[in-house]
Structure 1
Amino acid sequence: MSAMKDHYTPLADFAQAARPVTSPSRVVFMVASFALFFLLTPVLISILLPANLRIAYQEGTTALGTLLQFASFGLPAAAFVWTLQRVHQRGFWSLIGPYQMAFTDFRKVAIGVGGVFLALEVLPPWVVFSELADIRPIGIWVMLWPFAFLAVLVQVTTEEILFRGYLQQQLACLSNSRWVWMVGPSLLFGVVHYWNGNSAPEGVVYVFFATILGIACADLTARTGNLGAAIGLHQIVNIFSLMVIGVEGWPNSGLALFLYPYEDPDRYSALIAQFPMIWSIQQLLMLGLSVLSVWLAARIALRR
């Protein structure tokens, strides 16, 4: 147990910024305010955008619509940081940690995990070309990468400053238990992903995946004392899920290189519900192994 604690020594320095104000009521207020900002963002954007862009943003089935959805996370992030300055008297970088260390850890993990994802996509090839509905023109797809990278970085950083930045820091000041500062925020992170699913069984799969990914990111944050590694891991997971394979007409399919034919999401969810045990065990096992592999890749890249 002492060896495990030694690995997490950097967490104490990372949480230092939260120590002046540790009131649980303020933590609850900050989380509730973020939830409010997050819910109001699509309403505000829909009001401000012209009709054609509004539809693209709401559906997320085109490249522009998908980019707008992910970039829009910057609004609740900015509102959250503004509130943080007034409630806790601290700013954005207090949630990230030392800038140079965070940037270095981000780069190391992004390269290491990116290599693993590239290998997983290529060996063996998961794309069944005979079943594809479309392949995006490679030139356009390559040009979309920088915009996608930046938009996803906004989305990922927003989630990380809340769950692995703010909550992990504040809860580490309130308790030494990893169940509190590591598992607690990760479970909350998983629960909010339930609504990504189109049915209860599918929602549970999203909860499981997001929770274990959150635990992996929390572990890296505690080991490094900054958010760089967590953002790097989360960034590569999300960018590959968006940019490689998608389903025509499904949300967030606008950036995928390979598109499978449209399938009614209700029918897809019904099939999952018919075989919940077999489907869920296989799916959860694959998701668990994938997170384990990228977490180990991040650990190797960081040498921690």
Structure 2
Amino acid sequence: MNDPYRAHAAFIRPAWPVRDIWRVLTMILLVELIFVLSPVGLVLLLPDAARDAYVAGTSAFGTLLQFFSFGVAGLGLVGLLPVLHRRGFWSLVGGRSAAWAKLIQVVWAVGLVLLVVEMLPPRPFADEAVMMRDVGTWLLLLPVGLLALLVQVGTEELFFRGYLQQQLACLSQSRWAWMVFPSVLFGALHYANGYGPADGLIWAVWAALLGLACADLTARTGNLGAAIGLHLANNAFALLLYAVADWPASGLALFVYPYEDPAVLDYSLATLLDPSVIVQALTLGFWVLVMWLAARIAIKR
């Protein structure tokens, strides 16, 4: 029987020469520190108008700044890599041309599936309460928005499915180590995206499932292309199509729902037992599965 992860051995090979656990822990600490402190630095460096837009993240400019700011942590990772592990950027990616080819294949496949779903009834954009922004302006901003999202998802994939997956796979052959642990960590860091315990937990579980899908694709292909493609397609549809007015990262969406104060909504753990919330959580998990299957078909593995 063929090993579906046979390409993974070549992918992790650059991490073998320097694989001390203290180096991995140091990298996790330093990259997380850069990620936490970079918004503070940007707030201090940006002029008043840009700073306010960045903090709010509700305008197109502010949303773009938020997405591009992920690149600071990415640069930190790339800068620390030769210091701690004596290797460079492309060792995280796993083959430049192959990664680019898989990225394009998966973006098109997953994007097409999501587009078909969007066209099926009930159509959210047919709701009379939904406002549609100027299409011309949205199309002009679309390439920049996709580039900003590529910086965002690329940074996350370089760290979680590149660096961590490679280094942990050298320390243990167990999939719990190199596949599950980075995905759970990825999910846990998304808990803060929620407005309360229940919302945060749904965010965390969904992100962990997405992380598992990306880890699997990386192991199957031996590069980050498919994982970045899946992540990019997901975030593009989530952030460039729909948003709630004046909510964070809402500045690039084409369709905007009326503002709703999240403070008045119930996000306590008790709401996890609400049937509508259960259906929402199961639906999110189902769509991760659908996107993963679409990516698998695209890469033919």
Sort the TM-score into its range (normalised by shorter chain).
Answer: over 0.9
C-alpha contact 2:198 2:267 (8 A) present in aligned 1: no
Partner secondary structure for residue 124 of structure 2: coil
Whole-Å Cα distance in 1 between the matches of residues 4 and 56 of structure 2? 44
Whole-Å Cα distance in 2 between the matches of residues 63 and 272 of structure 1? 31
What is the CA RMSD across the aligned residues, in angstroms? 1.3
User: What do residues 105-158 of structure 1 show as CA deviations (whole Å, max 9, x unaligned)?
Assistant: 001001100101101111124315344252100101111110000000000010
Q: Bigger shift: 129-138 or 24-33? A: 129-138
Per the TM alignment, residue 80 of structure 1 is displaced from its structure 2 partner at its CA by 1.3
Per the TM alignment, residue 164 of structure 1 is displaced from its structure 2 partner at its CA by 0.2
Partner of 1:178: 175
Partner of residue 118 from structure 1, selected from 115, 118, 121: 115
User: What do residues 213-269 of structure 1 show as CA deviations (whole Å, max 9, x unaligned)?
Assistant: 00000000000000000000000100110111110010011011111110011223x
1:161 aligns with 2:182: no
Whole-Å Cα distance in 2 between the matches of residues 164 and 7 of structure 1? 17
C-alpha contact 2:195 2:267 (8 A) present in aligned 1: no
Which stretches in structure 2 are left out of the alignment for 5+ residues?
A: none
1:28 aligns with 2:6: no
**Amino acid of the structure 1 residue aligned with 2:147:** L
Partner secondary structure for residue 246 of structure 1: strand
| CA distance 1:264–1:131, shift in 2 (3 Å) | farther
Which stretches in structure 1 are left out of the alignment for 5+ residues?
A: none
Partner of 1:286: 283
Q: Percent identity?
A: 51
1:37 aligns with 2:37: no
Pairing of 1:87-126 with structure 2 (within 5 A): 87-126=84-123
C-alpha contact 1:205 1:280 (8 A) present in aligned 2: no
C-alpha contact 1:57 1:68 (8 A) present in aligned 2: yes
TM-score w.r.t. the length of structure 1 is 0.96
Partner of 2:271: 275
Partner secondary structure for residue 259 of structure 1: strand
Whole-Å Cα distance in 1 between the matches of residues 117 and 130 of structure 2? 22
C-alpha contact 2:197 2:267 (8 A) present in aligned 1: no
Per the TM alignment, residue 69 of structure 1 is displaced from its structure 2 partner at its CA by 0.2
Partner of 2:229: 232
Whole-Å Cα distance in 2 between the matches of residues 20 and 267 of structure 1? 53
Per the TM alignment, residue 23 of structure 1 is displaced from its structure 2 partner at its CA by 0.6
User: What do residues 178-237 of structure 1 show as CA deviations (whole Å, max 9, x unaligned)?
Assistant: 111111100000000000001000000000110000000000000000000000000010
Partner secondary structure for residue 121 of structure 2: coil
1:190 aligns with 2:187: yes
TM-score w.r.t. the length of structure 2 is 0.97
Per the TM alignment, residue 271 of structure 1 is displaced from its structure 2 partner at its CA by 5.9
**Amino acid of the structure 2 residue aligned with 1:276:** L
